Chains A and B, each alone.
Chain A
Amino acid sequence: MAFSALPRPDMPAPQPVEATKVSSLPPTGRQTEPSLRESRGETGDQVFKAAMVLCGLTVLATLVLIVYELTLRSGPSWHAFGFKFFAGHDWDPVNEHFGALPFVYGTLVSSLLALLIAVPLSIGVAVFTTEMCPKALRGPLSFFVELLAAIPSVVYGLWAIFVLVPILSNYVQPFLARTLGWTGFFDGPPYGISMLAAGIILAIMIIPIISSITREVLMVVPQHQREAALALGATRWEMIRIGVLRNARAGIMGGIILGLGRALGETMAVTMVIGNRPEIAKSLFAPGYTMASVLANEFSEATGDVYLSALIEIGLALFLVTIVVNALARLLVWTVTRGQPSRANA
């Protein structure tokens, strides 16, 4: 199970029970020792503890440094444009006029599209693995789904360019245009490279996150909830709907938001298929641009302080949004898997 414990942003904090004993245990429990050894041990202890505290501080310092650098270096752009930066349509490096709205729009639409596709699929997979499939199939199934999380983003992008995009432009887009073209979301030339392609590849990438969290949350739903539903004559699906899914709602929501956090910051695969054009179009067949992709494409070529600082401001915005989204998600998952308030009729 090489990938069963892939790093997820929500790794639960371990129970604090045992460690309280560690720290309360006095280091001076060895009175009979020769004083020389004892003092050496104590100095060693202090040095060692200091080193470990330093490592902990490094983690904190890294985050502080990220915030500091992003804030400091986005200053020029902030002074030049203020809040209008996120309301402006123009992205014009030549005249040094920058508005980030098309990128914000692209990030939001591609991520929401990804959620729309990924959420039902992930919940379906999680329900199947925890409630329906034979025990023997459970391990391999979750292994395969989590294998999806191990594929590098750039490989997804490669596959999307050469497999997904041709399928979209040859089959899916003409079909959607014929059937749903009248809504306005699906018209325009079927080039394949589009917001739709970005949404689909993002969906494939966030499915493992959402489904593994959902699975975890479903597994902590108490067994008696299922038994009670079955005892009342519920069919298996009714049992899942009433006894399981309803109880796990908050946690599933947490998983979905974590998936959203990942989708918002995802860079390479999206950059490779979204078309990279800073425009706001209603049709999902039109190319778009996201905050992460504009950074990937333009950062190393940015000339001029304002240009660079405008890009860093986009990075800062992306950073803040993902932090809020992740904190929210962790809180939701935590309420379900840790404290177990009865939420039977919530």
Chain B
Amino acid sequence: MNSTREPLLQMQGVHKYFAGVPALRDASLQLYAGEVHALIGQNGAGKSTMIKVVTGAYGLDGPQDGGQITFAGAPVRFHSPKQARESGISTIYQEINLVPFASVAENIFLGREPRRFGLIDWPRIYREAEQALAVVGLSVDVRKPVSSLSTASQQMVAIARAVSVDAKLVIMDESTSSLDDREVELLFGVIRKLKQDGRAVVFVSHRLDELYAICDRVTVMRDGQTVHVSPMAEISKLDLVTTMLGKELAVAHRKAASETSTTAKPALLDMEGVQVAPRLRGISLQVGAGETVGLAGLLGSGRTETMRAVFGADRLDAGGLRLGEQALDLREPAHAIAKGIAYLSEDRKIEGIFPDLSVRENMTMVLLPQLARLGVVDRAAQLRIVDDFIARIGIKTSGPEQPIRELSGGNQQKVLLARWLALSPRLLLLDEPTRGIDVGAKADIANLIHGLAATGMGILMSASELEELVSMSDRVVVIRDGASIAELQGESLSEHTIMSAIAEGRVAPAAEAGDAHG
């Protein structure tokens, strides 16, 4: 890329705070016309915030906010998405924002319908919508409502809309996550054409192979800062993952404390070639009784979906599950719970707590049928359990009757963990159990998990922080693009080996290879 040219978009020293918490700290981004630029980072690294600042969804109006933004040679400050759109920035969001019951053509021309004599020029809309769809290789009836199309086709319509606006800059925020290989190839064709026409593309994706296939340069963000900028070809996959996760390779190590021959333990959970559309394409793993197995992988690799499949929250399309000697056919989480499987979901607010209910009720919701005689809850027994857990795992609350929404994130998480532990499950699924909680609570929960494995419970857990995963797991299964690709344990388990497995899609030399079919 010719860096002596004037950049199309230049963002420098961008600061953005939410309620005093920094989301961006001195972040920067530079793009040139005719380039495809990868913007990557872990969850919470700030890339979404960055995109929303560019597209005018977030202003830089707070007292601590600031930064210079230049677009097409002039300093700008967008205050609404409309303003950014009119200046030539077109965005395709991950969650498709189409109007479901309006026709495909209406969606493509939404807000900019061509008019004739003051009325909408429908023949022209239909004609031009068909042309716009032809560019992305989609041929559907443009008069049909968008909701009648598949998710992938809807994504293609959104792309067609973004491309048909004569934009100088097209931002694609995880546009490929719902597309299959053929559709991704079509999208790449569109991107190459945009590039030829001298437009710039910002490409956000968690699939490393895609980044290398289509992007010219890359900007890596971490903790709200821009930590790396280079041509795509000049950084190896391993370095890219390392930069993104922020770990120095040399220090990767593992406490060699509980080094027993873990594989000898009998398999409690056996997952074989599990597929769930669209994310899971072949997951095979085992968890033994008393064993803690870590699930590693980038955001969007399928960690949450793997746990949901084991818990019966999503139906399997292929593959099999066994718990102990028994084959599982789970249609609802209730079935999994009855078999002794517990699942601590990743998103506390959306999938975990009942905000208006008390700590007592939140903690005993799963156990409630067992605490009842003839359907009437035994208050005394309920309170005994609640008081016991509050004391045992150190939940800071004014009492069992306090509404859970008033607790801190860490204490909410402890209540939810207690909800499942009260059930004495055989298998515990923990999806990011320490996410978004303070350091003290983190240590408490880590200790708790450690103690649980000693009681013979099988634990499958995921964590974005590799250090945590390595120190807490007996074994780690690496997932990449919805397939389990490696299994690491003992000597071969370290942050380094996990990262190279994530980056290369295979196990580094000297480690045994896991299954990768499906």
Tell whether A pairs with B: no
Which residues of A line the B interface, CB within 8 A? none
